Amino acid sequence: MRKKIIAGNWKMNMTPSQAVALCAELKDLVKNDDVDVVYCVPAIDIVPVVNALKGTNVKVGAENMYFEEKGAFTGEISAAMLKDAGVEYVIIGHSERRDYFKEDDALLNKKVKKAIEAGLTPILCCGETLEQREMGITMDWIRMQIKSDLAGVAAADVAKLVIAYEPIWAIGTGKTATTAQAEEVCGGIRACIAEIYDQATAEAVRIQYGGSVNAGNAAELFAEKDIDGGLVGGASLKADFGKIVCYNK
């Protein structure tokens, strides 16, 4: 049985003091032993959030990292820095980074490998544009992303990984994929993992759905057999996140 994992993706929101206040506000609302709860926060919020969450059930994730060990990469943050600060998860390949910051699959593959080497759990994002969906190439595109991003990654590491399926047209638009659409692609990702690796790895890897998840649609999405939780943007910044985390209560 895979444990559900529900992660907030704060994106470029919350100053350090706002971040600490939000942790306090959500503290009692996000308790659910059936679920791993993660806040993926801006780099500057990591240290105060790690401190604010001490003694709670919530883990901290980063929204990005660089693949190099250390050195002259002005403005970047390494996997070792994240790990040392108390981070356990890192989002890799969010569509906003692929689009606005031109991160490609070759770069993301390096980031995935470095994160694993440092002992971080990648939350690897994939997803199609509306145009690709309408062309009927959704699954081809996502299989290509998964295969490229995981090239050379061992089965044992993939089993511990989190993959987030986020249709780009559903992010921040209020337009959620239907439960059937989300389940179809999450199942397709699992089949792809079984094909590249094996059935046991495919059964172990946790696959989230992301894109306009809210308190009203979370329970239905998370009830699907291949949807192991969610990556939540907008709704993670308010009390509603508690309802999403406690979707089964």
Can you give the binding site for ligand PGA, defined by CB under 6 A? Answer: 9, 166, 171-172, 210-213, 231-235
Minimum distance, C-beta of residue 175 to ligand PGA, in the bound complex (Å): 9
**CA neighbor of 121 nearest in space, from 153, 166, 147:** 153
Helices (H), the chain: 16-26, 46-52, 79-85, 95-100, 105-117, 130-135, 138-149, 155-159, 179-196, 199-204, 218-222, 240-245
Minimum distance, C-beta of residue 163 to ligand PGA, in the bound complex (Å): 13
Is-catalytic flag, 94? yes
Minimum distance, C-beta of residue 234 to ligand PGA, in the bound complex (Å): 4
- Active site residue: 94, 96, 103, 128, which one? 94
**Residue with smaller CB distance to ligand PGA, 105 or 166:** 166
- Active site residue: 96, 128, 166, 183, which one? 166
Which whole-number Å values give the CA distances from 150 to 23, 119, 140, 155, in the listed order?
Answer: 33, 16, 15, 10
Is-catalytic flag, 203? no
Q: Which residue of the chain is nearest ligand PGA when measured via CB?
A: 233
**Residue with smaller CB distance to ligand PGA, 18 or 199:** 18
Residue 155, judged by CB atoms within 10 A of its CB (0-12, 13-18, 19+), counts as middle
**Residue with smaller CB distance to ligand PGA, 138 or 212:** 212
**Residue with smaller CB distance to ligand PGA, 96 or 226:** 96
Minimum distance, C-beta of residue 210 to ligand PGA, in the bound complex (Å): 4
In whole angstroms, what is the distance from residue 20 CA to residue 130 CA?
Answer: 36
- Phi then psi dihedrals of residue 48, to 5 deg: -60, -35
Q: Which residues are catalytic?
A: 94, 166
